[in-house]
DNA sequence: TTGTACGCGTTATCAG
DNA sequence: CTGATAACGCGTACAA
């Protein structure tokens, strides 16, 4: 007696309206190939070790799978304690922000390339929205467990939710240094070294008094830059007191042409801005220099610890460094892949290349 | 006698590396609350359907769930629900091209927003990927079956593979008109109407002889623009013969300043370029005008049927129309969601807004 | 070498 | 209103 191969689902939700044929399952492949479902699993699962399958059977299975367009169900794979070759990408803000100033795009370029190279597909968890799946509940982050592991972008990822994933042993990589959460893996740009080098270069040009302009928060990216900046000053034997750092919550209003002139009068010959999401400090700096009618780099050298905002791309290339965002993305994927495979973490810092630019030169001669 | 709550998994794969503690399951919540697992599912599932739960029981369950820190397993949930709330996005080229000229970004903005609003997550497939998951062969397209449905980007999606998906009843939406494949759902911009309107506006400015510069292929996006262009000429009572369309396979070599001058001599006062991936025609047009030393729009009006390439964004805004890419992405998701739900298709065309720009004005007086 | 039996954590039905 | 029970699709010891 043959069992009915395809009895109607007993008492379950009705088949999808529209008479759609459902995704083929291993059982159907098995039927078509004349083998058992387990055999199909063995063949398609690509398990190299131990079990051997006759070439003939394997061929039949592969053929049937192809004919049916079989593709494994990722949820079922996960559930069966296997892997589904899916890596998650979760950003608390939109992954594709409309505000292009602050875009993950270059980063995603690297993520996609590296993931593809390693045979992973990417799942974008739309966590930002207020819609159905992404509703703000504590379960919002939990959806990522569908994937083998997940990348987190942005500084606003809720710590508690993240901690839960980490303590559960779910492979997680945060993009950007994040030390407050014990055991959280992260990758980041080496802002310290890069900022250090910028100062070194400026010093080599002859600058003796530099000021760093930064926003007034405690983001790791900011403190790292300041740290590197100060270390750079020390290495060059330059004054690294508190007056070398200008903190402001509102660069555009406090960074006036007058402020600029005062610095010049005090002997400052180079100003260094940190990069932020909005490009605030750099924007303000450029504006102030313009208003003050100063020649850059003739009368004053400028440097930017990062890349300029997209809308300022047409201006003179700032001296500073480039964050290799694609490489950063690739590094994040490599680390995540390592975690998924149960391997150990690798170097989390990627180095930033110095960018000579055109906004810094020798300091002016001052009598 | 109590059953051992947590017997070691019988003969299964060793626990994930890192000795991770397994999360509580509904069964454990049930145990703590003194109810059955099914009851837990009912309470936590929030299904209002028919069944009512005593306030007391509900409370107990919620409390237990909270105490244990229960979070549902998305894999199990999606497996049981026979859907995974995943929409695929497949692009034959990289989804995040390094060549920014031709970028899906604005489109993805809309896709992400709409998908999030509807509770879908996104799976990114890369046709070009060479890794284990995405071997470049003809199987590449088959991977998308992992999702509930899939969006296809780019004109190079292989027809045969697509047909296979369509005939299998797998929900597919192609972005860009695509009529040669019976039954394939698509969304696209209404190039015909938009191009028509551009011509109408130029005619209203006083132009009487226009020429369309387009590439020499048969992409629907190109033929639609030509169609609208010609219809626009007819509506305005202007000559719409074959001399009104200039086809070129390599615009930069054939669109010479001399060609331009000849058109002017023939009485042409406005040139219209189609938008392409590379921006070729528009690029060539601008270059030729510059080389010819012509004043635009003083001596010659230009229009672009679409948006300028990113690297030309700094130049004068071209008269023409904007393709509302985010809306297009949103429309694609809406359509796909409808197909997944077994509903009927909606209007596939999104309208493009006219962009006045600065490259068109009244024609010069010619004696 | 291949088939059988079971479990992963949920959801949904049906009998108490 | 609640508790068994049967899938969902797949991976994997273990028996055949």
**pLDDT for position A131:** 43
Let me know: does B130 contact A119? Beta carbons within 8 Å: no
Average pLDDT, chain B: 84
Count of the separate structural domains present in chain A = 3
The pTM is what?
Answer: 0.86
- B347 inside domain: no
- pLDDT beyond 50 at A132: no
Residues B276-301: pLDDT tens digits? 877 889 999 999 999 999 999 999 99
Mention every residue, 6+ apart, whose C-beta is less than 8 A from residue B106. Answer: B325, B326, B329
Residues A4-27: pLDDT tens digits? 333 333 333 333 333 446 788 999
Most confidently modeled range among A106-115, A134-143, B204-213? B204-213
- Do B253 and B171 belong together in one domain? no
Question: Which nucleotide's C1' atom has the smallest distance to the CA of B37?
Answer: D3
Mention every residue, 6+ apart, whose C-beta is less than 8 A from residue A363. Answer: A205, A206, A207, A208, A269, A270, A301
- Do A252 and A315 belong together in one domain? yes
pLDDT category of residue A315 using cuts at 50, 70 and 90: confident
**pLDDT for position B5:** 32
CA distance A271 to A252: 15
Most confidently modeled range among A318-322, B91-95, B314-318? A318-322
Greatest extent of chain A over all pairs of C-alpha atoms, in Å: 105
**pLDDT for position B190:** 97
Question: Which nucleotide's C1' atom has the smallest distance to the CA of A33?
Answer: C2
For strand C, the positions having any atom within 7 A of a protein Cβ are 1-5, 7-14
Task: Tell me what the mean pLDDT of segment B288-315 comes to.
Answer: 91
- A295 inside domain: yes
Task: Tell me what the mean pLDDT of segment A73-87 comes to.
Answer: 89
Q: What is the CATH number of the domain that holds A311?
A: 3.40.50.2300
Under an 8 A CB cutoff, do B168 and A21 touch?
yes
Quote the Cα angle for B353-B358-B364, to 5°: 120
Question: Which nucleotide's C1' atom has the smallest distance to the CA of A23?
Answer: D9
- The boundaries of the domain holding residue B47 are 4-78
**pLDDT for position B133:** 44
- A352 inside domain: no
pLDDT category of residue B220 using cuts at 50, 70 and 90: confident
Residues B118-135: pLDDT tens digits? 989 999 987 655 444 444
- pLDDT beyond 60 at A203: yes
- A353 inside domain: no
**pLDDT for position B134:** 43
**pLDDT for position B180:** 83
- Do A300 and A198 belong together in one domain? yes
pLDDT category of residue A362 using cuts at 50, 70 and 90: very high
Q: What is the CATH number of the domain that holds A21?
A: 1.10.260
Query: Does residue A13 reach within 7 angstroms of strand C, measured from its CB?
Result: yes
- pLDDT beyond 50 at A49: yes
Let me know: does A186 contact A176? Beta carbons within 8 Å: yes
pLDDT category of residue A65 using cuts at 50, 70 and 90: very high
- Do A45 and A112 belong together in one domain? no
Percent of chain A with pLDDT over 90: 58
- Do A37 and A119 belong together in one domain? no
- Do B155 and B169 belong together in one domain? yes
Percent of chain B with pLDDT over 90: 47
- Do B112 and B73 belong together in one domain? no
- A298 inside domain: yes
Least confident window among A252-256, A292-296, A306-310: A306-310
- A54 inside domain: yes
Residues A329-360: pLDDT tens digits? 999 999 999 999 988 887 889 999 999 999 99
Average pLDDT, chain A: 86
Task: Tell me what the mean pLDDT of segment A204-222 comes to.
Answer: 93
pLDDT category of residue A109 using cuts at 50, 70 and 90: confident
Of all residues in chain A, the one with the smallest CA distance to B21 is: A168
Query: Does residue B41 reach within 7 angstroms of strand C, measured from its CB?
Result: yes
- pLDDT beyond 70 at B21: no
Query: Does residue B269 reach within 7 angstroms of strand C, measured from its CB?
Result: no
**pLDDT for position A156:** 74
**pLDDT for position A316:** 92
- pLDDT beyond 80 at B198: yes
CA distance A167 to B11: 25
CA of A341 to C1' of C15 (A): 46
- Do A136 and A154 belong together in one domain? yes
CA distance B143 to B355: 40
The candidate with the shortest Cα–Cα distance to B195, out of B158, B244, B154, is B244
- Do A179 and A195 belong together in one domain? no
Query: Does residue B44 reach within 7 angstroms of strand C, measured from its CB?
Result: yes
Higher-confidence residue of A331 and B71: namely A331
Task: Tell me what the mean pLDDT of segment B198-208 comes to.
Answer: 97
Least confident window among B47-51, B53-57, B161-165: B47-51
**pLDDT for position B328:** 95
Residues B326-346: pLDDT tens digits? 999 999 999 999 999 888 877
Q: Which CA-bearing residue is nearest the C1' of D11?
A: A80
- pLDDT beyond 70 at A152: yes
CA of A38 to C1' of D16 (A): 14
Q: Within 10 A of B62 (CB to CB), how many other CB atoms are there?
A: 16
Task: Tell me what the mean pLDDT of segment B218-237 comes to.
Answer: 94
The candidate with the shortest Cα–Cα distance to A268, out of A234, A303, A244, is A244
**pLDDT for position B78:** 87
- B47 inside domain: yes
Let me know: does A150 contact A171? Beta carbons within 8 Å: yes
Under an 8 A CB cutoff, do A132 and B125 touch?
no
B297 prior amide bond cis, ω within 30:
yes
Most confidently modeled range among A83-87, A137-141, B340-344? A83-87
| A119: chain B residues, CB-CB within 8 Å | 129, 131-134
Query: Does residue A49 reach within 7 angstroms of strand C, measured from its CB?
Result: no
- Do B121 and B225 belong together in one domain? no
The candidate with the shortest Cα–Cα distance to B105, out of A124, A106, A155, is A106
- CB-to-strand C under 7 Å, chain A 28-47: 34-39, 42
Least confident window among A35-44, A133-142, B60-69, B143-152: A133-142
- Do A104 and A142 belong together in one domain? yes
- B356 inside domain: no
- Do B213 and B306 belong together in one domain? yes
């Amino acid at each position: 007696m043959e069992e009915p191969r395809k009895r109607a689902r007993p008492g379950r939700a009705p088949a999808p309206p529209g008479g759609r044929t459902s995704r083929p399952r291993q059982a159907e492949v098995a039927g078509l190939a004349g083998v058992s479902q387990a055999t199909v699993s063995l063949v398609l699962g690509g398990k190299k070790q131990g079990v051997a399958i006759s070439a003939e059977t394997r061929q039949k299975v592969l053929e049937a799978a192809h004919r049916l367009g079989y593709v494994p169900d990722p949820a079922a794979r996960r559930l069966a304690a296997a892997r589904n070759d899916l890596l998650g990408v979760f950003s608390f803000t939109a992954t594709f922000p409309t505000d292009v100033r602050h875009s993950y795009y270059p980063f995603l370029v690297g993520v996609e390339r590296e993931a593809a190279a390693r045979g992973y597909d990417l799942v974008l968890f739309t966590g930002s929205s207020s819609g159905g799946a992404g509703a703000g509940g504590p379960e919002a982050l939990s959806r990522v467990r569908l994937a083998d592991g997940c990348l987190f972008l942005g500084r606003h990822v809720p710590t508690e939710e993240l901690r839960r994933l980490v303590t559960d042993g779910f492979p997680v990589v945060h993009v950007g240094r994040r030390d407050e959460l014990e055991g959280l893996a992260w990758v980041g740009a080496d802002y310290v070294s890069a900022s250090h080098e910028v100062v070194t270069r400026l010093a080599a040009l002859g600058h003796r008094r530099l000021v760093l302009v930064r926003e007034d928060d405690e983001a790791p990216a900011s403190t790292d830059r300041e740290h590197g900046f100060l270390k750079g000053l020390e290495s060059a034997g330059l004054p690294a007191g508190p007056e070398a750092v200008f903190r402001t919550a509102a660069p555009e209003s406090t960074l006036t042409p007058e402020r600029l002139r005062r610095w010049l009068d005090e002997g400052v010959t180079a100003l260094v801005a940190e990069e932020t999401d909005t490009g605030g400090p750099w924007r303000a700096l450029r504006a102030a220099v313009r208003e003050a009618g100063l020649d850059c780099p003739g009368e004053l050298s400028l440097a930017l610890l990062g890349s300029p905002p997209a809308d300022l791309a047409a201006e003179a290339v700032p001296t500073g460094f480039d964050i290799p965002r694609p490489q950063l993305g690739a590094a994040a994927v490599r680390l995540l892949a390592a975690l998924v495979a149960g391997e150990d973490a690798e170097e989390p810092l990627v180095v930033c290349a110095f960018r000579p630019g055109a906004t810094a030169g020798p300091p002016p001669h001052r009598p």
